[in-house]
Chain A
Amino acid sequence: MGQASNHATGGSQDVCVEFSNVDKWFGTVQVLHGINLTVGKGEKVVVCGPSGSGKSTMIRCINHLETHQKGRIIVNGIELTENKRSIDRIRQDIGMVFQSFNLYPHLTVLENCTLAPRWVKGVSRKDAEALALRYLERVRIPDKANFYPSQLSGGQQQRAAIARSLCMSPKIMLFDEPTSALDPELVREVLDTMAQLASDGMTMVCVTHEMGFARQVADRVIFMDAGRVVETAPPDEFFRNPRESRTRAFLSQILH
């Protein structure tokens, strides 16, 4: 299998995320096989692949929501170990957006956004609210600040979740299928928000099936299958001229 060596192509020299030979098991099932991956500062990487290919598991390893068993993961110069301090440190630099939004249902949008700045960073309530409103404006839902998540559409909830992550001023944003749970007509607004974030220079790793988004925003597209990175290429090359037959088969399934 064409195990590509995935080193940052162009852009900045700074490395944000580095996987070397990462293996992961769930019990006796191996879900990641020798993953090598480097994400440079400011780079936008889109990860795609069939369900069960390990793409979500891989990005959940970046902020240690999942624990890898072999190999090394280095994030912003800190190696991920079982050391709680280093995990907390790394998590403060990484924002994450989930398929099912995972907003706190009992808190308003504003409270969702201010909780972590106040309790993790010790920001005052006033400053945290000002910060939150700024990001809610950026995702274009400042008028929803005092609403509860249940009163928002899916697209608005996901944008609130993005704002909540941004309030911690992350250096890297992870997106785990952020539009998969949305009604088709709500996908656009979330993708636009992500594209805007990308144009502001955020380092991003996105697991998504939105190939239009990958074409428009990604510096690199990574295709995973059965826990392995099968192919990695700039979007133009990836879509026009995929090298691996497995990639071609996948693309013919999802592109019409």
Chain B
Amino acid sequence: MDFNYILDALPDLMRGLKMTLMVSGLAILLSCIIGAVGAALRTSGFKPAEYLVTGYVEFIRGTPYLVQIFFIFYGLPSLGLRLSVFWSGVVALTLWASAFQIENFRGGLAAVSHGVRDASASLGLKRWHHALLVVFPLAARAALPSSMNTIVATVKNSAYLQAIGLVELTFVAVDRIAYDFRAIEMFFSICVIYLLCVFALSGLGHALEHRLNRPFAGR
């Protein structure tokens, strides 16, 4: 393996990494918001909203991710909605991750006891105060481990977006291989870079988990 070649390619790889982080960062942020709102709707008792959210989750889980990406990038323009490569990527990744985050948050909501709802009601708390101040923090804590899995998967699944020509980390590697045939150097490099990203995220997740678990440490 030629390490000088890797050093030489590093600026390109960093540009790719920047794009990977931007697309996945946006998708993670948006999918967590959609996940929380979607899970709330899914358990709201309002049937049309429940069916809509369930249908969405089933659709995303039941179709190949690559097909979803192509549908958005190649399919939507013929319906009159033309998105740039970047935004197609963000939308595809967000839609994919949201479906899983909805399920993660739904699990979190189920873990919140009915007792605290009685307590809030008896204290006269408004429903949305209860939702924001009591249910959300408790559900987020319960959902965190599975939610972290989805967040890590979101970063890794940004690699698929090279298929529509988004110049992210995997695209850069594949692109250089097409010219220089240095497959082992390039794939080794991007594997290490992806691993480092995932380790950083996992570390962050564990720290957050530890912090959210503090009140429960005595148990």
* B215 adjacent to A150 (CB under 8 Å): yes
* A98 adjacent to B125 (CB under 8 Å): no
CB distance from A62 to the nearest CB of B (A): 10
CB distance from B116 to the nearest CB of A (A): 6
Taking CB as reference atom, which chain B residue is nearest A174? Answer: B122
Which of A100, A105, A165 meets B123, CB within 8 Å?
A165
The reply on B118 being an interface residue by CB < 8 A is: yes
The reply on B115 being an interface residue by CB < 8 A is: yes
Q: Interface residue tally of chain B, by bracket?
A: 20 to 34
Q: Taking beta carbons and an 8 Å cutoff, which residues of A are in contact with B?
A: 63-65, 88, 91-92, 94-96, 98, 100-108, 115-116, 119-120, 148-151, 161, 164-165, 168, 174
* A102 adjacent to B119 (CB under 8 Å): yes
With A98-B118, A102-B118, A119-B133 known to touch, is A91 a contact of B216 (CB < 8 Å)? no
* A100 adjacent to B115 (CB under 8 Å): yes
* A168 adjacent to B124 (CB under 8 Å): yes
Taking CB as reference atom, which chain B residue is nearest A117? Answer: B123
A-binding segment of B1-9, B26-34, B61-69, B134-142? B134-142
With A65-B121, A91-B121, A120-B124 known to touch, is A105 a contact of B133 (CB < 8 Å)? no
Q: Residues of B contacting A150 with CB < 8 Å?
A: 215-219
CB distance from B127 to the nearest CB of A (A): 10
* A94 adjacent to B122 (CB under 8 Å): yes
Q: Residues of B contacting A88 with CB < 8 Å?
A: 124, 126
Q: How far is the CA of A64 from the CA of B118 in the complex (A)?
A: 10
18 contacting pairs across A/B (C-beta < 8 A)? A65-B118, A65-B122, A88-B124, A96-B119, A101-B115, A102-B116, A102-B119, A106-B134, A106-B212, A115-B125, A120-B123, A150-B216, A150-B218, A150-B219, A151-B218, A165-B122, A165-B123, A168-B124
* A116 adjacent to B125 (CB under 8 Å): yes
Q: How far is the CA of A168 from the CA of B113 in the complex (A)?
A: 23
Q: How far is the CA of A63 from the CA of B123 in the complex (A)?
A: 10
The reply on B129 being an interface residue by CB < 8 A is: yes
Q: How far is the CA of A233 from the CA of B163 in the complex (A)?
A: 81
Q: How far is the CA of A104 from the CA of B133 in the complex (A)?
A: 10
CB distance from B108 to the nearest CB of A (A): 13
With A91-B124, A150-B219, A168-B123 known to touch, is A106 a contact of B115 (CB < 8 Å)? no
Q: Residues of A contacting B212 with CB < 8 Å?
A: 106
Q: How far is the CA of A119 from the CA of B123 in the complex (A)?
A: 10
With A148-B218, A150-B216, A150-B218 known to touch, is A104 a contact of B116 (CB < 8 Å)? yes
**A65-B118, A116-B125 given; 9 more Cβ-contact pairs under 8 Å:** A65-B122, A88-B126, A91-B124, A105-B138, A106-B137, A107-B215, A120-B126, A148-B214, A150-B217
Q: Residues of A contacting B134 with CB < 8 Å?
A: 104, 106
Residue of A64, A150, A164 with most partner-chain B CB within 10 A: A150
Taking CB as reference atom, which chain B residue is nearest A62? Answer: B122
* A91 adjacent to B122 (CB under 8 Å): yes
Q: Residues of B contacting A119 with CB < 8 Å?
A: 125-126, 129, 133
Q: Residues of A contacting B129 with CB < 8 Å?
A: 119-120
* B124 adjacent to A92 (CB under 8 Å): yes
* A105 adjacent to B215 (CB under 8 Å): yes
Q: How far is the CA of A148 from the CA of B213 in the complex (A)?
A: 11
Q: Residues of B contacting A148 with CB < 8 Å?
A: 214-218
Q: Residues of A contacting B124 with CB < 8 Å?
A: 88, 91-92, 116, 120, 168
Q: How far is the CA of A30 from the CA of B113 in the complex (A)?
A: 26
Q: How far is the CA of A101 from the CA of B214 in the complex (A)?
A: 20
CB distance from B13 to the nearest CB of A (A): 42
* A98 adjacent to B119 (CB under 8 Å): yes
Residue of A116, A149, A161, A164 with most partner-chain B CB within 10 A: A116
Q: How far is the CA of A94 from the CA of B134 in the complex (A)?
A: 20
